[in-house]
Structure 1
Amino acid sequence: MTEGVTGTGGSGGTEGTAGAERHVRVVLVDDHRMFRTGVQAEIGATERTGVEVVGEAADVDQAVSVIAATRPEVVLLDVHLPGGGGVEVLRRSAALMGDASNPVRFLALSVSDAADDVIGVIRGGARGYVTKTITGTDLVAAIFRVRDGDAVFSPRLAGFVLDAFASTDAPPVDEDLDRLTQREREVLRLIARGYAYKEIAKQLFISVKTVESHVSAVLRKLQLSNRHELTRWATARRLV
């Protein structure tokens, strides 16, 4: 299943003509090496797509270092990363994002379509958010549009952003959710979706004991007693 993208402006490039007319330097940030390899193969044929992949990173520290060293025009950023997640990369790269002469723009590329993830990285400064069901052609177009200053979203996700910013009365942050680390939020969301501890451990590449520790920390911080209360809490906040 594939999807297109929605955004502002009409300056997007297209695969097949981009290579001859345009060029963009990109860094890939994702903690799964095979996924980075696949994206590189799909979009990194510079003569065909106009996209030059100038660096890769698998965690927050690597990402910040590679971005600072290469100064790409666009960063394809996964939301869930070791070391604090995509939001932490955005926070630590804020000075580069604000450089008027040579800004680094961020496009979130994630398997997650949760409203909390989308809103978090957009508040952090990302210019767009697309899910990993996007086609290579659409991803190339999205990269050029973000480079040119457009905001780009997978169609369903645009609604999350509009809803989040439409109401001036809505608090900018959820104080309870803000107590949790990025990894605790990931575990919370999977628990609320009914995953067993072993399934969560496999999906997040951590041990079952580590999952148990994260669940205990979440319950303590949110002052909840069990996973059923946790599921109700997450559902009420549309995190599931």
Structure 2
Amino acid sequence: MEEPLATPTPGYAHRVAIYDMDRTITHSGTYSGFLIHVALRRQPWRLLLLPLIGLAGAAYALRLIDRARLKAINLRLLVGKRFSRAEIAPLAESYADKVVACGVHPAALEQIAADRAAGYRLLLATASFHLYVDAIARRLGIDDVLATRLDEPDGADHIHARLSGDNCYGDAKFARISGWLTDNAITREDAHIRAYSDHVSDHPMLRFADEAVATTPSRGLKRLAPRMGWQVVDWRARK
């Protein structure tokens, strides 16, 4: 049974711990759950559109659309083409309550607490939407969030079911992390960085870290981690 990393690393001006969210901190993905949570409470008739979501998933599997387009289509089908932030915000909060209450690995919470106690600044970097990730991050005591943005051409009042900028995934996620470090005046040589992820798509972030941890890893990451010398832990093993 692996104990949480905790020992502070001396000699650095900054300590940063970067966490992926879906299937790293959480037991499973959160995006589909959020869409269904909103549809059930807001417009249950939209669940009749689930077969269309299946077709979109098939188009993605056949590489006819990319991951960003798939996410936008699903959001449009189950939430709407355009919606009010004020209307969705309470549903994001209630969904965050649900996720944190029963959808988070206890071992992940232990590691977050250990990193916080060791003086690490906690950064959540995820492809999921800010729309609900921010609420989850607040409940976890995360300091900063990088997530996929949605288009808000009308300002803060209305959100459109299309992405603003890149899907925060893979190389695009790492670019966002690099930008965050620059914005916060954190240089690589002055920072000790820990990174946690379940998926091989996060290899740019994991390679960048001083301590990389493959948490309950996907098949691809489970193969890559030993070759890279990254620690492998199964956060399902600690209850």
* Both structures adopt the same fold (TM-score exceeding 0.5): no
Q: Which has the higher strand share?
A: 2
Kindly indicate whether structure 1 or structure 2 has the higher relative contact order, using CA contacts under 8 Å at least 6 residues apart.
Answer: 2
- Give TM-score scaled by structure 1 length: 0.28
